[in-house]
């Protein structure tokens, strides 16, 4: 079979598509730090995760498979908590990956959990996350979701629209009025944060930016809607106004956007103090801290990030003569993203002459939509063995009936790759299983947790019976 081999990346004269691939890595068997889970190794050539050989995992649980390293998740929780310190709070954004096991781990490590739907809220409650350690946000919370959050006694509800404030007012109409509550959870009066749209243009993909004015989240600062929202929350006797929330977007690598956002939010906090005589107790700056998917990504260390965010908030509050509120951050990707590796079995291998080799795997856009949705870039490696064969410029594609069904746009795989080999794609812990679909009636893969030499499914694989059960004819 003629394959496109690129020992040193694309060669002059090759007919290459417009999106030029990067140069081939020096060592195709390497597991670069920062992209792979902290416990990833090679043993006898095969990839091991949490001390377990991926060939055994594939044999026991099948492929495609998400393999999540529990120790990696826990260690990242620890990094965030240590970096932000005891005065500030770290909440895991459950939207990145929401399962009871993971919510239990993060809660055991001392993080709160933020949820954006009633479904995520139920998972958090059933995982045993203390309600006061839960924040509910979301741009269109249904009345029953708000009602459940209020009766469960969640710590904070993030108001995102005037309708929601009215709904919350209605739900809490009969609650006793009085001074603001003590510690969160000490009263049934919900603590409400007002989500502010700061007008910041985060340097990230359009669909991951959430604070520019022209989008659906929050109350605009520029239009005065945010000031009005605060007025309305304060006017509701059944609600306790706790502070402000801002989330500027995701996969952000520099703190410049947070600085502008914090500056604008603090200006609002000053106006609130001047108008209502209230200093905000809480400032939630959301999540969005970037991780490395490829060698090209160079996210800041969590410690640096925390130092700089804390300094920004301290400085802005000092300059405005405001008592510094308690800071909360909500990392999702930063906690679970690097913990997980997707395992696939290679099916067909097709060389498109002069262009590249298409390697089809047994999953695709139904288990990782990020490449199609956000132009996300991933790396991948031959996992079932090491190989000394030369690099072959490849595109790893799925089994779905779409030409955009791409898992890894530019992959260098050894040119002796064969059907039946296992491929591993790292950094798939966030927004892969949670965005998975049944497109083409493909069942969603299992998620297996590895740690201390053992593996267990924390989300089981869907079966055809699961799919047929929903089709009631
Ligand atoms: C309000 C809010 N908080 C936190 C997050 C988590 O973001 P990330 O996973 O990028 O850290 C998101 C993600 O979009 C979000 O919308």
Residue pLDDT, tens place only, 167-221: 999 998 877 655 444 344 445 689 999 999 988 866 555 545 556 666 788 999 9
Residue having the nearest C-alpha atom to atom 12 of ligand 1 = 287
Residue having the nearest C-alpha atom to atom 2 of ligand 1 = 286
Q: What is the mean pLDDT of residues 241-251?
A: 94
**Of 419, 385, 392, the residue nearest 53 (C-alpha):** 385
Q: 104 C-alpha to center of ligand 1: Å?
A: 19
Q: Is the pLDDT of residue 13 over 50?
A: no
Closest ligand 1 atom, residue 247 Cα:
1
Q: What is the mean pLDDT of residues 427-438?
A: 98
Residue having the nearest C-alpha atom to atom 10 of ligand 1 = 288
Q: 248 C-alpha to center of ligand 1: Å?
A: 9
Kindly compute the dihedral angle of the four CA atoms of residues 422, 369, 436, 443, in this order, to the nearest 10 degrees.
Answer: -50
| 311-314 contacts, C-beta under 8 A, 24 or more apart | 312/255, 312/258, 312/259, 312/262, 313/262, 313/266, 313/283, 313/285
Residue 445 to residue 432: CA distance in whole angstroms: 10
State the average pLDDT for the chain.
91
More confident residue, 261 or 82: 82
Residue 410 to residue 355: CA distance in whole angstroms: 12
Q: What is the mean pLDDT of residues 300-313?
A: 94
What would you measure as the largest C-alpha separation in the chain, in angstroms? 78
Closest ligand 1 atom, residue 334 Cα:
11
* Ligand 1 pocket mutation pick from 158, 283, 332, 338 by most atoms within 8 angstroms of CB: 332
Residue with tokens 């947790």: 449
Closest ligand 1 atom, residue 251 Cα:
10
Residue pLDDT, tens place only, 149-167: 999 999 999 999 999 999 9
**Of 154, 142, 231, the residue nearest 189 (C-alpha):** 154
Verify whether residue 116 is a known catalytic residue: no
Q: What is the mean pLDDT of residues 434-438?
A: 98
Residue pLDDT, tens place only, 324-370: 999 999 999 999 999 999 999 999 999 988 888 999 999 999 999 99
What pLDDT, on the 0 to 100 scale, is given for residue 211? 60
What pLDDT, on the 0 to 100 scale, is given for residue 353? 83
Residue pLDDT, tens place only, 35-70: 999 999 999 999 999 999 999 999 999 999 999 999
Query: Is 196:244 a contact under the CB 8 Å cutoff?
Result: yes
What pLDDT, on the 0 to 100 scale, is given for residue 137? 96
Closest ligand 1 atom, residue 195 Cα:
1
Residue 281 to residue 267: CA distance in whole angstroms: 15
Q: Is the pLDDT of residue 15 over 90?
A: no
Buried b (16+ CB within 10 A) or exposed e, 51-90: bbbbbebbeebebbbbbbbbbbbbbbbebbbebbeeebbb
Q: 74 C-alpha to center of ligand 1: Å?
A: 19
* Ligand 1 pocket mutation pick from 287, 306, 337 by most atoms within 8 angstroms of CB: 287
Give the model's confidence band at 22: pLDDT under 50 very low, under 70 low, under 90 confident, else very high: confident
Q: What is the mean pLDDT of residues 67-84?
A: 98
Query: Is 340:49 a contact under the CB 8 Å cutoff?
Result: no
Q: Is the pLDDT of residue 3 over 90?
A: no
Q: What is the mean pLDDT of residues 311-319?
A: 93
Closest ligand 1 atom, residue 431 Cα:
9
Catalytic residue, candidates 68, 77, 401, 432: 401
pLDDT-above-90 percentage for the chain: 81
Reduced to 3 DSSP states, what percent helix, strand and coil does the chain have, rounded to the nearest 5? Answer: 30, 25, 45
* Ligand 1 pocket mutation pick from 95, 195, 218 by most atoms within 8 angstroms of CB: 95
* Ligand 1 pocket mutation pick from 247, 253, 292, 328 by most atoms within 8 angstroms of CB: 247
Give the model's confidence band at 19: pLDDT under 50 very low, under 70 low, under 90 confident, else very high: low
What pLDDT, on the 0 to 100 scale, is given for residue 254? 86
Q: 434 C-alpha to center of ligand 1: Å?
A: 13
Query: Is 359:342 a contact under the CB 8 Å cutoff?
Result: no
Query: Is 426:411 a contact under the CB 8 Å cutoff?
Result: no
What pLDDT, on the 0 to 100 scale, is given for residue 209? 57
Q: What is the mean pLDDT of residues 240-266?
A: 91
Query: Is 340:429 a contact under the CB 8 Å cutoff?
Result: yes
Q: Is the pLDDT of residue 297 over 90?
A: yes
Residue 435 to residue 421: CA distance in whole angstroms: 26
**Of 93, 133, 100, 101, the residue nearest 117 (C-alpha):** 93
Residue 276 to residue 403: CA distance in whole angstroms: 56
Q: 281 C-alpha to center of ligand 1: Å?
A: 21
Residue having the nearest C-alpha atom to atom 4 of ligand 1 = 287
Q: 162 C-alpha to center of ligand 1: Å?
A: 22
Instruction: Name every residue whose Cβ is closer than 8 Å to that of residue 208 and which is 6 or more positions away in sequence.
Output: 202, 249, 250, 251, 288, 374
Closest ligand 1 atom, residue 96 Cα:
9
Q: What is the mean pLDDT of residues 6-16?
A: 41
Residues contacting ligand 1 via CB (< 6 Å): 93, 95-96, 114, 137, 247, 250, 286-289, 330-334, 430
pTM score of the predicted model: 0.92
Q: 285 C-alpha to center of ligand 1: Å?
A: 10
Give the model's confidence band at 4: pLDDT under 50 very low, under 70 low, under 90 confident, else very high: very low
What pLDDT, on the 0 to 100 scale, is given for residue 395? 97
Query: Is 393:410 a contact under the CB 8 Å cutoff?
Result: yes
Q: 184 C-alpha to center of ligand 1: Å?
A: 22
Q: How many CB atoms lie within 10 A of CB 232?
A: 18
The token pair that represents 87 in the structure block:
């005065």
Residue 93 to residue 117: CA distance in whole angstroms: 12
Q: What is the mean pLDDT of residues 400-411?
A: 96
Q: 291 C-alpha to center of ligand 1: Å?
A: 13
Closest ligand 1 atom, residue 330 Cα:
4
- Beta-strand pair 406-414/219-220: unpaired
């Amino acid at each position: 079979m003629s394959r496109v081999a690129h020992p040193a990346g694309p060669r002059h004269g090759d007919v290459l598509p417009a999106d030029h691939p990067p140069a081939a890595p020096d060592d195709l068997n390497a597991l670069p730090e920062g992209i792979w889970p902290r416990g990833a190794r090679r043993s006898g050539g095969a990839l091991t995760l949490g001390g377990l050989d991926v060939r055994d995992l594939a044999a026991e649980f099948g492929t495609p498979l998400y393999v999540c390293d529990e120790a990696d998740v826990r260690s990242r929780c620890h990094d965030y908590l240590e970096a932000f310190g005891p005065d500030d709070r770290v909440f895991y954004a459950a939207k990145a990956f929401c399962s009871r096991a993971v919510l239990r781990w993060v809660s055991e490590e001392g993080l709160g959990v933020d949820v954006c739907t009633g479904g995520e809220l139920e998972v958090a409650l059933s995982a045993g996350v203390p309600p006061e350690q839960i924040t509910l946000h979301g741009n269109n919370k249904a009345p029953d979701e708000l009602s459940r959050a209020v009766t469960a006694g969640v710590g904070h509800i993030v108001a995102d629209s005037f309708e929601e404030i009215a709904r919350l007012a209605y739900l809490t109409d009969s609650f006793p009025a009085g001074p603001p509550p003590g510690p969160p959870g000490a009263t049934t009066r919900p603590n409400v944060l007002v989500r502010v749209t700061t007008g910041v243009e985060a340097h990230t993909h359009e669909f991951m930016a959430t604070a520019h004015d022209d989008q659906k989240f929050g109350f605009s600062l520029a239009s005065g809607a945010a000031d009005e929202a605060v007025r309305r929350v304060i006017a509701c006797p059944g609600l306790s106004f706790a502070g402000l929330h801002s989330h500027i977007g995701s996969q952000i690598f520099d703190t410049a956007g947070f600085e502008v956002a914090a500056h604008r939010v603090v200006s609002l906090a000053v106006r609130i103090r001047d108008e209502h005589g209230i200093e905000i107790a809480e400032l939630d700056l959301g999540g969005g801290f970037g991780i490395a998917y490829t060698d090209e990504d160079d996210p800041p260390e969590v410690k640096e990030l925390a130092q700089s965010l804390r300094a920004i908030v301290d400085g802005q509050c000092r300059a405005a003569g405001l008592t510094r509120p308690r800071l909360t951050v909500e990392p999702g990707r930063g906690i679970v993203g690097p913990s997980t590796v997707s395992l696939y079995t290679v099916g067909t291998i097709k060389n498109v002459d002069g262009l590249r080799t298409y390697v089809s795997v047994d999953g695709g856009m139904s288990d990782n939509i990020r490449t199609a949705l956000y132009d996300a870039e991933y790396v991948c490696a031959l996992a079932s063995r090491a190989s000394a064969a030369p690099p072959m410029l490849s595109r790893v594609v799925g089994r779905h009936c779409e030409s955009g069904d791409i898992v890894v746009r530019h992959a260098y795989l050894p040119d002796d790759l064969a059907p039946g080999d296992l491929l591993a794609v790292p950094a798939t812990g966030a927004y892969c299983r949670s965005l998975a679909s049944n497109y083409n009636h493909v069942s969603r893969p299992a998620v297996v947790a590895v740690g201390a030499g053992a593996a267990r499914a924390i989300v089981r694989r869907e079966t055809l019976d699961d799919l047929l059960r929903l089709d009631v004819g």
